[in-house]
Each structure stands twice: as structure tokens, then as C-alpha cells.
Amino acid sequence: MGSTDTLKTTFEQMMATYSARDLESLSAFAHDNIIFLGVLAPVHVEGKTPLLSLFRNFFETHTYVQFTPLDPRFQVIGNIGQVWGSMMMELEPKRAPRTTLYLRFSCIYGDFSGTWKLVSMHTSWMPQEG
């Protein structure tokens, strides 16, 4: 059974891998049947292969991508791990200036034989100032 410390490490590694645009390493964090409901997808995405395709297309249209969790919270209940909070998303599309936006997020992980795998992620926009 995974601990809060290993869940935190997994989440931090996943965020660093995403910002590094490393799809192969990012793939290792996701369960094959992952569900993604988020601001990057117009509809929900089911499964690791479609999710990686979404990220590949997103990376191809942006020259810079950085996600910075601001206040992540971690909880483990049995073999389920929850991570939630807010994050800063810095993006630079190929044909537009760099933008900073803020998101709320919720991630559900499952402990599969001692390895945390992301099974569900939801993101939504936070109200922007000004």
C-alpha cells in the first residue's frame, strides 16, 4: 500500500515530466484506462493512448509549457491516493505570446502493486483577475 510520501513524489515527478514534454515518461504515470476531464480537452478523454495523442498535439502547438502546483494536498485512503489544489499554467503557443493561467485540479491515483498510477484527472479554470 502506497504512502502519502510516495504519492507526493509520484505527483511531483509527473508534473516535472509533463513540463519537460516527455511523453514516454509521462506514459508510465498513467493507468491504461485513465479518464481525463480537463481544460486541454474539449470533451473527456478515455484511455492512455488517446490521452498521449492529446498531449502530443498540444505540445506540437506550443513552444513552452510549464505547470506549477501552488498548494497541492495529498491524501491516501487504502490503495487510493487523492491529490488536489490549484496550479499555475504558463503557455506559449507557437503564434501567440506567453500566457499565465490558473487551474483547479483533482487527481485520483490507484496503488497497483506498489506503484501509483493516475486513473482520473479533472481540471477547471479558476476565475482570472482583471
Question: What would the pLDDT profile of 32-85 be if each residue is shown by its tens digit?
Answer: 999 999 888 778 999 999 999 999 999 999 999 999 999 999 999 999 999 999
Residue 128 forms part of a structural domain = no
The predicted model gives 14-38 an average pLDDT of: 93
Per-residue pLDDT tens digits for 30-46 = 999 999 998 887 789 99
Residue 127 forms part of a structural domain = no
- pLDDT value at position 43? 81
pLDDT band at residue 127 using 50, 70 and 90 as cut-offs: confident
Residue 33 forms part of a structural domain = yes
CATH number of the domain encompassing residue 16: 3.10.450.50
Residue 93 forms part of a structural domain = yes
Residue 130 forms part of a structural domain = no
Please state, in angstroms and rounded to a whole number, the distance separating the CA atoms of residues 64 and 121: 22
- pLDDT value at position 130? 58
Map residue 39 onto helix, strand or coil: coil
How many domains does the chain divide into?
Answer: 1
Identify the domain containing residue 63 by its residue range.
4-122
Per-residue pLDDT tens digits for 101-110 = 999 999 999 9
pLDDT at residue 115 greater than cutoff 80:
yes
- pLDDT value at position 93? 94
Grid cell listed for 82: 487523492
Buried b (16+ CB within 10 A) or exposed e, 3-30: eeebbbebbeebbebbeebeeeebeebb
Residue 41 forms part of a structural domain = yes
